[in-house]
Amino acid sequence: MQLEQPLISIIIPTFNRAHLIGATLDSVLAQTYLNWECLVIDDGSTDKTLEVLTVYMNRDKRFQYHPRPESHLKGGNGARNFGFEKSKGDYIQWFDSDDLMDPNLLDMQLGNILTNQAGFSLCLFDLIDENGDALKKGIAHSLQDGFYYDYIIRRLPANLPTILFRKSVLVGHPLNEHLLKSQEYEFLQRFFRMNHDQGVMLNKALVQVIRHSESITEQHTPGKVASALDALLITNSELPSTKPTYIRSALAILYLRTLYLAFTSRMTDVFYKYLLKMRYFHFYKSLLSIVYLSLMYILVKVMPIGNWHYKNIYNLYR
């Protein structure tokens, strides 16, 4: 337990998770660090979320329930931004309403920040299924090109629940409420770019991310695929001029892999709209990509050839 006991604000956006959020709140109650407030921001639930929260608020006054106001757009980021505005803590812990905290999460993350006089601490996470079986264990990470570059090319596994922030480093940098998918990616690439020298790693898995069959991350709609592509385009447009030479090519491959979702699901409008935007990565390579993938989109529909031919284009950027 830390000698210094600043208030930590835990902010949990939720939508129709009454059947799941109880386990998350139990993991909050189990924290060895005690000076916290937990703000659950309801994004318009139609289930029994309020009834569940009422039980927890009656049990412990540190829990709060707030409906997201109309002044913020519907979605996780609107709820997160509103929760940030309502928070009173010196530290911010965003969390998801279907994931679990290790009992030492807050204590160890805060200790890491205070010991290193840092602006944020990033821990590891384990991915588990609905039955609690491990899908992927968090692996210790040694930064190669810093938080920013390692993160944007997916070398560094990170999400909001794995980071404890000093509130001061977040002021003036809200999350983008217009994106439907990759909201955390777009925010964290901005945050790491501006605060790459403010963080410290904690190579211990202190969060359990649960992969549900209904998880938002598993739902691929045209709007969400387009939003994920927009997040990568934003990241590409904001790359510093001093970036390592391989970074833009690595981003181009991530973009193509995301575009593959539109290709295989036959999202024609999304596919062609964002295929043409390949020109923002490498102009001449993009011309080859556009011609090849346009042809492939037609051929897989009329001829017995597999979607896997799409992936040949990745070699152009390696």
pLDDT band for position 134 (cuts 50, 70, 90)? confident
- From CA 70, how far away is CA 68, in angstroms rounded? 7
pLDDT of residue 187: 97
Looking at residues 262-269, what average pLDDT do you find? 94
From residue 34, alpha-carbon distances to 10, 29, 106 in Å are 12, 9, 9
CB contact at 8 A, 238 and 193: yes
Looking at residues 142-153, what average pLDDT do you find? 96
State the chain's mean pLDDT as an integer.
94
- From CA 18, how far away is CA 222, in angstroms rounded? 28
CB contact at 8 A, 20 and 97: yes
pLDDT of residue 1: 52
- From CA 174, how far away is CA 195, in angstroms rounded? 14
From residue 161, alpha-carbon distances to 96, 121, 126 in Å are 7, 11, 12
pLDDT of residue 130: 86
Return the CATH class of domain 8-217. Answer: alpha beta
Q: What digits encode the pLDDT tens for the residues 188-232? A: 999 999 999 999 999 999 999 998 766 544 568 999 999 999 999
- From CA 73, how far away is CA 260, in angstroms rounded? 29
Residue 190 burial (10 A CB sphere; 0-12, 13-18, 19+): middle
Q: What digits encode the pLDDT tens for the residues 74-89? A: 999 999 999 999 999 9
pLDDT band for position 3 (cuts 50, 70, 90)? low
From residue 134, alpha-carbon distances to 42, 130, 209, 306 in Å are 29, 10, 10, 32
pLDDT band for position 300 (cuts 50, 70, 90)? confident
Q: Give the count of alpha carbons within 13 A of 124, CB side only.
A: 14
* CATH 3.90.550.10 location in the chain: 8-217
| pLDDT for 32 beyond 60 | yes
Number of Cβ within 10 Å of residue 142's Cβ equals 7
Q: Which H or E run contains 236?
A: helix 222-237
pLDDT of residue 80: 98
pLDDT of residue 117: 97
